Amino acid sequence: MAGLDYSRLEDRLLVQAVLEGDNRAFDSLFARYRDSIYTMLLKCTNNSDVVEDLMQEAFMKAFLKIGMYNPQYDFGAWIYAIARNTFIDFSRSQKNNAINPSNIPLENSANAKSSSPTPEECIINAQQRALLERYMAMLPDDYRQLFELRFIDEYSYEEIAERLNMKLGTIKTRIFRVRNMMCKLIEQN
């Protein structure tokens, strides 16, 4: 897709390009929704440091699960729902956290529902899984385990710390590192 102006493509076409292995199409989706997701998360947290981590995690989840996106629904609502759920997971994991996830607006949440996958979507999901496994195989073993626990199995930081018998701060630092490693692997390929 050399010379293609991604900024002019509809979301569903960008998603299709991502599914076909074009990571620049995902970069375009990220650029398209970055500001609105950032604003929503900033309103929820009032902490720009936390927002950066939550955004990175939300977009990583979106990339990993893009094969599950149903083009009958608005992509913006889908990515918004992922970011909202990422925030809710984060806020639940915080002890004595004053942030209330019920304060997050549910706009477009009805549009973000997905239906069971079609046979074509199953094939795409399998292809995405194979690509993800290839990237995961490039990670050091201990980081691969953290990546699986956090992003595949969707354990909270606290659950991972307990499961691996490690300090919570260590888990957060290592998950931050593995998220950055995976982003670099995706960018390079």
> Which CATH number goes with the domain that contains 108?
1.10.1740.10
pLDDT tens digit sequence for 137-147: 888 888 888 88
Total domains present in the chain: 2
- At position 61, the amino acid (one-letter code) is K
101 is in which domain, residue-wise?
9-115
The whole-number pLDDT of residue 165 equals 92
Residues 73 and 108 in one domain: yes
114 confidence band (pLDDT: 50, 70, 90): very low
Single residue among 81, 115, 149 that ends a domain in this structure? 115
The whole-number pLDDT of residue 111 equals 44
Q: In angstroms, what CA-CA distances link 24 with 34, 37, 50, 184?
A: 15, 19, 26, 13
Is 104 a domain residue? yes
112 confidence band (pLDDT: 50, 70, 90): very low
Q: How many CB atoms lie within 10 A of CB 73?
A: 18
The whole-number pLDDT of residue 125 equals 62
CATH for 157: 1.10.10.10
Is 156 a domain residue? yes
Q: In angstroms, what CA-CA distances link 188 with 80, 108, 135, 170, 185?
A: 26, 34, 11, 27, 5
Residues 152 and 90 in one domain: no
- pLDDT for 62 beyond 50: yes
Is 128 a domain residue? no
Residues 162 and 89 in one domain: no
Residues 37 and 106 in one domain: yes
For 24, the token pair is 């620049």
Is 100 a domain residue? yes
Q: Find, among 127, 134, 118, the residue nearest to 186 by Cα.
A: 134
Residues 92 and 142 in one domain: no
The whole-number pLDDT of residue 21 equals 81
